[in-house]
Amino acid sequence: VQYSLANDYNGWFEVDRTSGAIRLMKELDYETQQFYNLSVKAKDRGKPVSLLSVTSVEIEVVDVNENLYAPYFSQFALKATVKENARIGTTLLQVTANDDDASRDGEIQYSIRDGSGLGRFAINEETGMIYTTDILDRETKDSYWLTVYATDRGVVPQFATTEVFIQVEDVNDNAPLTSEAMYQCTVHENSPDGVSVIQIQAQDPDDTALSSDKLSYHIISGNPQNLFTINTNTGLITTTSRKLDREQQAEHNLEVMVSDSGPSPKHSVVWVTVRVLDENDNKPIFPEKIYQVKLPERERRKKGEPIYRVFAYDRDEGPNSDLSYTIVDGNEDTKFFIDPKTAVLSSRKAFAAGSYNILTIKATDNGRPQKSSTARLHIEWIRRPLAAPPLQFDQPFYNFTVMENDKVSEIVGVVSLQQSSTTVWFDITGGNSDSVFHVDKTVGTIIIAKPLDAEQQPSYNLTVQATDGTKTAHTQVHVTVLDNNDNAPVFSQPTYDVTVSEDIPPDAEVVQVVASDRDKHHQLSYSLQSSIDPSSMRFFRIHPTLGTIYTLQSLDHEACALHILTITCKSLDNIVNLRVNCIKRH
């Protein structure tokens, strides 16, 4: 068999006719040609006809390192900016490198291999154009560094790097945040104009150059009489020239709106509860200025026994309404003494029919400075009846009902006797703890003598006695004190911080808020009142009676990583606000 080449590429290759070995006859250049296709013939010497066969041999030229020059950038570092609300795929800048090699050794590919922006940015390997691959949030991270590589295509590749600094520019996408979810403060009634009440402190997560430097504050509800004003620049709430009166309104709920001044202004709302502190600006009040009574003659007693009760009340609260009683006139011979707390007048002395006593009773509060008022008590002593039929009440027992917010001196009910021709006097002889009730001596009308509190004592069983001076009769009076909604609901904790995953499904439970109320038989109801970001209201709902918060739709961490909600719990007109922080994470 003999071998030959159909094409030796102008003498570059040669084949041994006997062995078939292919030899290289000239030096090859990888950059000129990388592949050669040779056709090799094999022919025998047969008789009468020789036969042949043809095959192809592909020769690949392997490059040796002629990559002399590394790529280079014209600048050591570059800077780019991008807005935080830029869409994914937004281009930032194009980097360019050069390479003085020719052919493949001079061809460059770009890549990002290091830096804080890995995963947030990418680069086109051919053009060097850098673009975003994620949603950016300046409030989370306001800048990134990228290390960009330019690598050639040499057999032994060479590379160069440059640093790219990316500044994330702010957009006004955050509402101002107040330092507290709800503010509670106090101020004295009758305060003069300009007294500081509380300062609302807020900050804007956005760039101060855009908004936080220019927050504005406004009271948008709860101030119909303009009792308060707010400095629109500092958030300081102060009193006005209009006087506060605790007895007229003890608590004010102000709704304050905080707005930034950036493009497309954002705002948030916070509640401020102002409790008005009492000042001793009311004198004690006697239901009557002059009391005229006729009482049966009395013999001298071994110990003092009650004669009459002249009580007062005070519209102030606390120590300012804590009254003490004294006899300031008409008791020169010290026949009478008065209980300083209950105002029950007593005596051990004898009083004959036909005699008179005129006493001046003084009620003084415990405020600073103290205030007082007086009432006159005219007592006429009359004879006891010599003979009279037995006394008997119309009913063996009475049931009366009052509201706990009924005022002192209001009527509870009237007890009466069956027809009697003689004068009769009534007294409460039992069950009247702390002397809360009083019965009119001659009429039998039971009235409130001290403020009631259904939470402290919801009912009383009074024993009422009637006497004509000789005979007596008794009856039982049951007084039920009905609860009034005078206590605000109280949440089990002041704030709720909740962490949820952004893949939480719709209608999933987030958290249950719980409130309690000292008042009885009042149904609590829960509602979502507001949110810092108005869009948060679309993502959550709350069960009106259980207080359980659920998702309404899927959450997106990139769109909003923090939801701040205001929860309202109502029992009639009482409101408590609570902020729920729903923090979303990957």
> What is the token pair recorded at 320?
């300012």
Of the candidates 38, 40, 42, 94, which has an alpha carbon nearest to the alpha carbon of residue 61? Answer: 38
Residue 469 CA from chain centroid, whole number: 65
Q: State whether residue 525 is helix, strand or coil.
A: strand
Question: pLDDT tens across 382-428, in order?
Answer: 988 776 788 899 998 999 999 998 999 999 999 999 877 778 999 99
The model scores a pTM over 0.85: no
Question: pLDDT tens across 78-132, in order?
Answer: 999 999 888 999 999 999 999 988 888 889 999 999 999 998 999 999 999 999 9
DSSP sequence for 174-220: ---EESSSEEEEEEETTPPTT-EEEE--EE-SS-TTTTGGG-EEEEE
- pLDDT band at residue 585, thresholds of 50, 70 and 90? very low
CA distance 338 to 342: 8
Lowest mean pLDDT among 271-285, 301-315, 527-541: 527-541
Question: pLDDT tens across 44-87, in order?
Answer: 988 888 899 999 999 998 877 677 889 999 999 999 999 988 89
Comma-separated ranges of CATH 2.60.40.60 domains in the chain: 2-60, 72-169, 177-277, 386-484, 490-583
CATH top-level class for 490-583?
mainly beta
Report the pLDDT value the prediction gives residue 574, as an integer from 0 to 100. 47
In CATH terms, the fold of domain 72-169 is Immunoglobulin-like (2.60.40)
- Considering the segment(s) 386-484 as one domain, its CATH architecture is Sandwich (2.60)
Mean pLDDT of the chain: 88
CA distances from 331 to 116, 334, 378 (A): 93, 5, 12
pLDDT for residue 540 is more than 70 = yes
Select the CATH number that applies to the domain covering 177-277 from these four: 3.30.420.10, 3.20.20.70, 2.60.40.1180, 2.60.40.60: 2.60.40.60
pLDDT for residue 257 is more than 60 = yes
CA distance 487 to 493: 17
In CATH terms, the fold of domain 2-60 is Immunoglobulin-like (2.60.40)
Report the pLDDT value the prediction gives residue 541, as an integer from 0 to 100. 92
Q: Are 164 and 145 in contact (CB under 8 A)?
A: yes
